[in-house]
């Protein structure tokens, strides 16, 4: 098999997510043109910020397990993160960053608990809960480690059945993924106030809920929601919805780590294995996604010798394993697309007929506008750009939620690429410009603007029409 992307990149990667970079877990442009930018200096400059983002959900999980009080615990963790952001760059990162954060957050949570209700009662409760040696902030050199991995338990807590699907996703992206309310709102094309209400109500519903890993019966009930959230966290890490960085490597790595932990718990579940395969196959291409100056390199132009061959091999083996474990779902199929891309020695060698067949399966599994968009790209690679454009027109007319396409850049980016391939530079340039205006990602906007500039009157054609 070859390699796809995880979001259904049909664009370069054979999937439909059309995020903007033709090679992410959901790029739908068949040749990567729907993209934005590379991974540039973001990961290199992340430093303390990435470290804090990685540990934040683990620290929150530890506090909720020990004390309960989800909302107050989150406030305490935020204050600990602020303290670390101010202290660590000057004093150095502690030997055990997570332990340091847990101790500082525990101290702050104690203060918050004391301020709630009766001061005397809260002080007594806090005194019993917090060991004496944890009541002062640790020095950077301290390295006491908390026991266990609470992040996965926190993930299942955020996906409890009493929460609505929308609330589960919002709360998990906030508590586990570390996204801001604004980032979550942009990713879902809804107002910030809507996300803020979802998170607030979810916390209220979880008040008093025991912090424990679900038993086997509960696992089945919540697994679908957990997998969806892990997928969303990974895709946000692979191609950020907004900001200066195309990639947030800390989120992508944490999603992969959590999915590995989940697979260790459920080794026979094909959906879990398929999702892990999809993440690995997608992340394997990260080293080739940007050029020397941080510019986006679309999938068909990437130096494939830079791809992580170990990750590709592991991902491909997992795809084959997951397909032997019915029922086959969207993650296994998307991973199969990703494997096909990863197998191709060059863009020219990509097995687009098989990718199109896999997109047919994805569309049949359930309504997904992004999968349908990816299929249109795959169709264009098999039958020509005009066939893809005809399919895009049909999708715009038939999609039950036209706002999903009308409100973001993805449809415009795919259309621009297909128009360029079809030999209509004027319309393609206008579509690229519209896509650049609509995206909230600065790297994507720069990439799309460059594509438009190449089609300006008087410039030589970048590629022949097909």
Q: Could you read off the pLDDT tens digit of each residue along the chain, which spans 466 residues?
A: 533 333 334 333 333 333 334 465 644 333 333 333 334 433 433 578 778 877 888 888 888 888 877 778 888 888 888 888 888 888 889 889 989 999 988 888 887 777 665 444 544 444 454 444 444 444 444 433 343 468 888 888 998 888 988 898 889 888 887 788 888 887 666 789 989 999 999 999 988 888 888 887 777 778 988 999 899 889 988 988 888 888 888 889 888 988 998 898 889 999 999 999 999 999 999 999 988 877 788 899 999 999 999 999 999 999 999 999 888 999 999 999 999 999 999 999 999 999 999 999 999 998 888 888 999 999 999 999 999 999 999 988 876 555 556 667 889 999 999 999 999 999 999 999 999 999 988 889 999 999 999 999 877 655 555 6
**What is the pTM for the complete model shown?**
0.71
Which residue from 289, 370, 283, 364 is spatially nearest to 318, judged by alpha carbons? 283
Rounded to the nearest 10 degrees, the angle between the axes of helix 181-188 and helix 216-238 is: 90
Q: Quote the DSSP letter at residue 134.
A: G
CA distance 230 to 358: 22
* Residue-wise burial string across 343-379, b where 16 or more C-beta atoms lie within 10 A, e elsewhere: bbeebeebbbebbbebbebbbeeeebbbbbbbbbbbb
Cα separation, 39 vs 393, in Å, equals 32
Distance (Å, whole) CA 37 – CA 402: 26
Distance separating alpha carbons of residues 122 and 125, to the nearest angstrom: 5
Distance CA 298, CA 9 (A): 12
- Write down the pLDDT at residue 1: 53
Residue 31 φ then ψ, to 5°: -145, 25
Cα angle: 442, vertex 420, 17; to 5 degrees: 50
Q: What are the CA-CA distances from residue 425 to residues 114, 344, 369, 410 (Å)? A: 66, 29, 26, 18
Q: What is the pLDDT of residue 110?
A: 80
User: Facing residues of 3 across strands?
Assistant: 338, 340
**DSSP class of residue 287?**
G
State how far the Cα of 113 lies from the Cα of 109, in Å rounded to an integer: 6
Is 378 within 8 Å of 359 (Cβ atoms)? yes
- How much is the pLDDT for 404? 55
User: What does the alpha-carbon distance between residue 439 and residue 320 come to, in Å, rounded to a whole number?
Assistant: 36
Distance, in Å, from the CA atom of 141 to the CA atom of 136, rounded to the nearest integer, reads 14
């Amino acid at each position: 098999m070859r390699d796809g992307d995880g979001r259904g990149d049909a664009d370069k990667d054979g999937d439909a997510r059309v995020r903007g970079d033709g090679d992410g877990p959901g790029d739908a442009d068949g040749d990567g043109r729907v993209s934005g930018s590379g991974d540039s200096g973001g990961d290199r400059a992340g430093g303390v910020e990435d470290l804090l983002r990685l540990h934040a959900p683990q620290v929150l999980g530890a506090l909720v397990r020990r004390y309960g009080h989800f909302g107050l615990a989150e406030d305490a963790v935020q204050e600990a993160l602020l303290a670390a952001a101010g202290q660590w760059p000057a004093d150095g990162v502690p030997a055990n960053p997570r332990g340091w954060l847990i101790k500082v957050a525990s101290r702050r949570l104690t203060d918050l608990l004391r301020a709630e209700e009766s001061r005397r009662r809260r002080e007594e409760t806090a005194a019993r809960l917090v060991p004496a040696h944890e009541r002062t902030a640790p020095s950077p050199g301290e390295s006491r480690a908390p026991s266990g991995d609470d992040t996965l338990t926190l993930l299942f807590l955020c996906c409890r059945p009493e929460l609505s699907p929308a609330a589960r996703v919002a709360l998990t992206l906030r508590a586990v993924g570390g996204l801001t309310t604004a980032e979550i709102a942009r990713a879902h094309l809804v107002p910030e106030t809507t996300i803020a209400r979802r998170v607030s109500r979810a916390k209220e519903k979880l008040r008093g809920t025991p912090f424990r890993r679900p038993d086997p019966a509960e696992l089945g009930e919540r697994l679908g929601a957990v997998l969806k959230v892990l997928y969303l966290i990974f895709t946000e890490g692979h191609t950020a919805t907004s900001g200066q960085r195309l990639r947030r490597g800390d989120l992508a790595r944490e999603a992969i780590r959590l999915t590995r932990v989940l697979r260790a718990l459920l080794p026979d579940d094909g959906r879990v294995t398929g999702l892990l395969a999809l993440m690995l196959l997608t992340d394997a291409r990260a080293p080739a996604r940007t050029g020397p100056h941080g510019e986006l390199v679309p999938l068909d132009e990437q130096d494939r010798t830079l791809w992580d061959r170990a990750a590709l091999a592991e991902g491909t083996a997992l795809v084959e394993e997951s397909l032997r474990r019915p029922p086959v779902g969207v993650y296994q199929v998307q991973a199969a697309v990703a494997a096909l891309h990863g197998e191709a020695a060059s863009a020219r060698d990509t097995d687009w007929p098989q990718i199109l067949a896999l997109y047919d399966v994805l569309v049949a599994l359930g309504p997904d506008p992004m999968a349908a968009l990816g299929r249109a790209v795959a169709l264009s690679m098999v039958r020509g750009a005009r066939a893809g454009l005809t399919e895009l027109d049909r999708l715009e007319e038939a999609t039950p939620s036209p706002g999903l396409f009308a409100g973001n850049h993805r449809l415009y980016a795919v259309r621009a690429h297909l128009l360029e391939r079809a030999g209509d530079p004027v319309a393609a340039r206008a579509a690229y410009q519209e896509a650049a205006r609509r995206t909230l990602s600065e790297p994507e906007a720069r990439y799309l603007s460059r594509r438009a500039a190449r089609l300006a009157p008087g410039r030589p054609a970048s590629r022949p029409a097909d």
